[in-house]
Structure 1
Amino acid sequence: MTKKIPGPYPDSEMKHFLDTFLYTESAFLIDEVIAMDPKEHSIEARMDTLRPLPFSQAQRVSPNHPAHVSGAEIVMTTGSLGCLHAWFFHGCRWDEGWAGFGNRIHRADFKRLAEIGPPLHLKSKEVRKRSGANRVVMRVAFDFWQENELVYTSEQSAMFFKEKILSE
């Protein structure tokens, strides 16, 4: 059963996204889409840090190493946001032969630990894009906040291709 991700779209559209997504639902770490602006190519979302997180739940916690959202989960969340951009703003449908890959982290700054407990407020905005019939290339700026403090900021690029065979 597909989990429900509340947001400014028909439930059926997010169900279609998740049912055909390039990863299983457990790797989609976004719990709510707060806003989408197709004109500005921007998304605001929320990530619940109390949910099961694959790396964070494996942490050995101590006063010197407090429980936190791991960097791998932060980067995976940028990939999920990038896929939302591709789907909702560029029409890339996984079941129509589209696939995408992050291909460059231009800059990434972890400003402080993202603690387990308070949710993360996620913002993403395309700063460059090139679209064609079978290819979309985008550069996206990400800012992740927790309790009004910036925890992560980056610019990353991704490429999405339609029906491009990458392995045999």
Structure 2
Amino acid sequence: MPLEPAFVTDFFYGEGGLLLDEILLVDKETGTVRARMPTHDDLPITREQKVHPVRHPRHVSGGLMVHMTGVMGFVHAYYVLGLRHAEGWVGYGGKIHSARFKAIARSGEPMELECTPKQVRRLGAGIFARYTFHFYQGGVEVYEGDQTAMWLRPEAIEEGATILGVDVSAPQTK
């Protein structure tokens, strides 16, 4: 399905940070979401590469792939968990348990990005999720990841509140 205007508006980066052009799957039973990411030479970081046809061909940067795990976490939070940035929900990456760059993702052919929750749990005012990520280009897996993120509504958290030992309270204004 094409990106819904409400989804694009709710996303916590501008269009240059979203980098998706289509949602391919939302499976509310398993929590799996899949989306398409066009690739081209003008992607962030990619456009700054010093290219050599053999030693350093133009490709989707590994740093950008890690960014896209956050984008896919947002897709999951929006479509599966029903969380809305406009309602105060904010997502934060917590830990990269593993990140494997399995093949080079070249500019030109779109990538399919898949995110599946391994575990989702509510802790107080927050939601913790551990995700697996699989990114493909032309049927070849180019990235595999395992990460933890937390979703919070900072204004709903009392001063001094902690989750797993982390102070998650919003700054108090008087």
Asked if Structure 1 and Structure 2 have the same fold, meaning a TM-score greater than 0.5 normalized by the shorter chain, the answer is: yes
Q: Which runs of 5+ in 1 are unaligned?
A: 8-13
The reply to whether residue 72 of structure 1 matches residue 63 of structure 2 is yes
- Structure 1 distance, partners of 2:87, 2:36, is 28
Q: Shift of the alpha carbon at 1:51?
A: 6.7
Which of 1, 6, 9 is the aligned partner of 2:2? 6
Counterparts of 1:34 and 1:67 in 2: how far apart (Å)? 26
**TM-score, with normalisation over the residues of structure 2?**
0.84
CA contact (8 A) 1:37 1:43 kept: yes
Larger Rg: 2
TM-score (norm 1): 0.87
What is the count of residue pairs matched by the alignment? 158
Gapped runs of 5+ residues in structure 2?
156-168
How far has the Cα of 1:137 moved from its partner? 0.7
C-alpha distance in structure 1 between counterparts of 2:16 and 2:124, whole Å: 31
Specify whether residues 37 and 97 from structure 1 end up closer, same or farther in structure 2 by C-alpha distance, changes over 3 A only.
same
Task: State the secondary structure of the residue aligned to 1:35.
Answer: strand
- Residues of 2 paired with 1:133 and 1:17: CA distance? 26
Is the CA contact (8 Å cut-off) linking 1:90 and 1:136 kept in structure 2? no
Spell out structure 1 runs of 4+ moving beyond 6 A.
none
In 1, the alpha carbon distance for the partners of 2:11 and 2:34 equals 20
Q: Within the alignment, does 1:146 sit opposite 2:132 as a pair? A: no
Q: CA RMSD in A?
A: 1.8
1:37 shift after superposition? 0.2
